[in-house]
């Protein structure tokens, strides 16, 4: 089984343990071809990417965000820019955008270019040398995995009728958004075994690949947590192995070794979107 437990109703999932009691609705069966390390890594990051891009991030009041998220439908005509594309959430979101048929622009440190191209990025912008909001225009959707006060700069990147999804909501002016014809909306990740079943199918058939740069045995969970808390300009890993000390075998959905990066288990903070009706969109 794999799952994100009782989130965000409880921010203490008590998942760093050998045995846990949780709602069966939070779990999905782990696909046979995916090892425990990669299944663990995908739970929160994968659900976040899925619920930002594909399905509603929450359908009940959240401690972080009360308004419903309004994801936009993607297709072959869509252009999606993922800011923070080499991170845990970003590299999965990039692949989901490609799976939906969109043209994908990845924004990350230049060192990640080969990794992101390997995942399907059509274009890679190095944010250390270029200002992505200046060099791209007429994008249908910006998924800003960095978010916060700087997120507003992407309003100039999105075309009228498009959407901006900031991970941290930042400060937006509803009137300005309306004048520009841009939907600004964010999600709060929530537990969903049903969504993980769909993500599991994509892992199983190789559509979605999870990149991990390191794993931690369960007894070193604190070290994983410390590493995440320190923060780096590169993505981090804090994925306790289910069997301490066991080397993870490469699953068949693993990226090439030089493309291995990581995921992060940090929880989202403070997304607050303006009240809005839920959007109806097609599901896979």
Ligand X SMILES: NC(=O)c1ccc[n+]([C@@H]2O[C@H](COP(=O)([O-])OP(=O)(O)OC[C@H]3O[C@@H](n4cnc5c(N)ncnc54)[C@H](OP(=O)(O)O)[C@@H]3O)[C@@H](O)[C@H]2O)c1
Interface with ligand X by CB under 6 A: which residues?
A: 44-45, 48, 83-84, 86-90, 107-109, 112, 127, 145-146, 167, 187-189, 233-236, 264, 266, 268, 271
The least CB distance from residue 233 to ligand X, in Å, is 4
Q: Regarding beta strands 2-3 and 27-28, do their DSSP bridges make them parallel or antiparallel, or are they unpaired?
A: antiparallel
Q: How far apart are CA 119 and CA 159, in angstroms?
A: 25
CB 245 within 8 A of CB 236: no
CB 189 within 8 A of CB 57: yes
The least CB distance from residue 32 to ligand X, in Å, is 26
The least CB distance from residue 20 to ligand X, in Å, is 20
The least CB distance from residue 110 to ligand X, in Å, is 8
Q: How far apart are CA 156 and CA 136, in angstroms?
A: 9
Nearest to 142 by CA among 121, 167, 177, 117: 167
Pick the closer one to ligand X by CB: 66 or 266. 266
| Residue with nearest beta carbon to ligand X | 87
Q: At residue 143, what are phi and psi to the nearest 5 degrees?
A: -105, 105
Pick the closer one to ligand X by CB: 252 or 266. 266
The least CB distance from residue 33 to ligand X, in Å, is 24
Dihedral sign, Cα of residue 227, residue 64, residue 203, residue 53: negative
Taking CA atoms, 105 is separated from 66, 84, 95, 249, in Å, by 30, 11, 11, 31
The least CB distance from residue 243 to ligand X, in Å, is 24
Pick the closer one to ligand X by CB: 171 or 175. 171
Pick the closer one to ligand X by CB: 266 or 281. 266
């Amino acid at each position: 089984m794999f799952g994100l437990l009782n989130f965000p109703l409880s921010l203490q999932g008590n998942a760093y343990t050998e045995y846990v009691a949780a709602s069966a609705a939070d779990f999905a069966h782990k696909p046979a071809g995916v090892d425990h390390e990669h299944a663990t890594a995908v739970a929160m990051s994968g659900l976040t990417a899925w619920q930002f891009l594909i399905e509603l991030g929450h359908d009940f009041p959240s401690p972080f965000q009360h308004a419903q998220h309004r994801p936009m439908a993607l297709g072959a005509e869509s252009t999606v820019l993922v800011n923070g594309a080499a991170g845990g959430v970003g590299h999965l979101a990039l692949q989901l955008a490609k799976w939906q048929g969109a043209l994908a622009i990845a924004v990350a440190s230049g060192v990640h270019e080969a990794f992101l191209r390997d995942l399907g990025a059509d274009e890679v912008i190095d944010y250390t040398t270029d200002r992505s909001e200046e060099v791209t225009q007429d994008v249908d959707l910006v998924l800003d995995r960095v978010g916060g006060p700087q997120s507003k700069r992407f309003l100039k990147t999105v075309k009228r009728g498009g959407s901006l999804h900031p991970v941290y909501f930042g400060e937006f002016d509803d009137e300005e958004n309306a004048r520009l014809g841009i939907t600004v909306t964010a999600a709060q990740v929530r537990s969903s075994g049903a969504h993980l079943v769909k993500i599991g199918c994509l892992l199983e058939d190789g559509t979605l690949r999870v990149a991990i740069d390191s794993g931690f045995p369960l007894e070193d969970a604190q070290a994983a947590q410390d590493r995440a808390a320190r923060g780096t300009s590169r993505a981090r890993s804090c994925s306790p192995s289910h069997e301490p000390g066991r080397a993870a075998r490469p699953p068949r959905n693993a990226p090439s070794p030089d493309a291995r990066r990581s995921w992060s288990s940090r929880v989202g903070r403070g997304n607050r979107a303006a009240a809005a009706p839920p959007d109806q969109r097609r599901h896979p």
